[in-house]
Amino acid sequence: MSDLLDVRVIGAPEVAAQAVGRLGELFDLDRQGGPHPSRKTPGLVLYYLAGRLRPAGAAAASGQAPLVQIRSHRPPRQPCRPGRLRRDVPG
């Protein structure tokens, strides 16, 4: 099994660019593509990254941000109401 990781970043242009910069500190990147405009949501951009996670001590030794500091800004999922399937719930 390969240790290669593919990551897709979707967000507002400024926020997505900042996230890609932070993720670049955590991964040894092999490929980076973007920004590409989102076809589903106007105003958002997509970045595609592929790389390998750096060893745990590498980021700390270089003073870079640990993975714990990167948080998801996606709202929590709402519980399903009776009679609805999970796939019918947006999010």
- Taking the model in full, what pTM does it have? 0.59
Domain membership of residue 46 (yes or no) is yes
**Is residue 81 one of the residues assigned to a domain?**
no
Q: Is residue 61 part of a domain?
A: no
66 is a domain residue = no
Q: What is the pLDDT of residue 60?
A: 55
Q: What is the number of domains present in the chain?
A: 1
| Domain span including residue 34 | 1-55
Query: Is residue 5 in some structural domain?
Result: yes
> CA 60 to CA 66: how far, in whole Å?
7
Is 79 inside any structural domain? Answer: no
pLDDT tens digit sequence for 5-33? 999 999 999 999 999 999 888 889 899 99
R_g of the chain, CA atoms, integer Å: 16
* Dihedral pair phi/psi, residue 43, rounded to 5°: 95, -15
Task: Tell me if 36 is assigned to some domain.
Answer: yes
The amino acid at residue 55 is P
Q: Dump pLDDT digits (tens) for 34-68.
A: 999 999 999 999 999 999 988 876 655 556 555 44
